Amino acid sequence: MFETRPDRSSEVVLVGRSNVGKSTLMREITGHDVSTGQRPGVTREPNHFDWVSEDFVVTDLPGFGFMDGVPEEVRERIKTDVVRYVEEHADEILVGILVLDGKAAVDIMDRHSGPDEVPHAVELFHFLRDVDVEPVVAVNKMDKVDDEDDRLNDICERLGLVPPWQQWPETIAPISAKRGTVEPLNEAVREHLHEAGRDDLFQFF
């Protein structure tokens, strides 16, 4: 289990498969490069960006799913650790940002849907809700997507949200972390922070 967490009463976490752009998004949110040069195959730890004065921490949890050169059991363990972390700190976590690769997410979800299989993204989305962590789906890499509305509606459908996607501004946020166009995510997160009575944290989003 991860033992690195600073003891803060409020937290926002980023979860998602590897390579969806979580580190890029983390840099965009915090304005800092907090990655610790982790490579596949190395035991992965969360990256915490800690604001002591605000009693607030943003945490980029390790990516899971397919990674070149990482054995299946390691990948599964990472996912289990991520889920446990969120369960354990659910009371402090105000928002769970589920980051998807907008270009690849639908194909990946459909490839992993079946009688005995629920796609990671779908599983995590419902898991966040089950533990009362507000989920925001950051659909990243939208700069690579042409059929934006179709893609976002497909994602909604798979997550059990009735399309059109524009009905879910607090939940579905199309962004491009690399280009720095993340306003829909900031708006969604601020909405949840507001509901939690934490307008003071708007400075970060």
Residues that bind ligand GDP in the complex, under the rule CB under 6 A: 18-24, 63, 140-141, 143-144, 176-179
Q: Which is nearer to ligand GDP, 143 or 199 (CB)?
A: 143
The residue among 96, 98, 102, 94 whose CA lies nearest residue 175 is 102
Pairing of strands 56-60, 10-15: parallel
Q: Which is nearer to ligand GDP, 20 or 156 (CB)?
A: 20
Cα 125 from Cα 96, distance rounded (Å): 9
Q: Which is nearer to ligand GDP, 21 or 46 (CB)?
A: 21
The torsion defined by the Cα of 77, 3, 132 and 104, in degrees rounded to 10, comes to -40
Write b or e for each residue in 144-180: b if 16 or more Cβ atoms lie within 10 A of its Cβ, otherwise e: ebeeeeebbbbbbebbebebebeebebbbbbbbbeee
Q: Are 156 and 109 in contact (CB under 8 A)?
A: no
Distance in Å, CB of 4 to ligand GDP, minimum:
17
The residue among 65, 60, 63, 61 whose CA lies nearest residue 27 is 60
Cα 162 from Cα 69, distance rounded (Å): 38
Q: Which residue is nearest to ligand GDP (CB)?
A: 21
Distance in Å, CB of 55 to ligand GDP, minimum:
26
Distance in Å, CB of 172 to ligand GDP, minimum:
16
Q: Which is nearer to ligand GDP, 33 or 149 (CB)?
A: 33
Distance in Å, CB of 144 to ligand GDP, minimum:
5
- What's the token pair of residue 108? 């990946």
Distance in Å, CB of 194 to ligand GDP, minimum:
26
Q: Which is nearer to ligand GDP, 54 or 184 (CB)?
A: 184
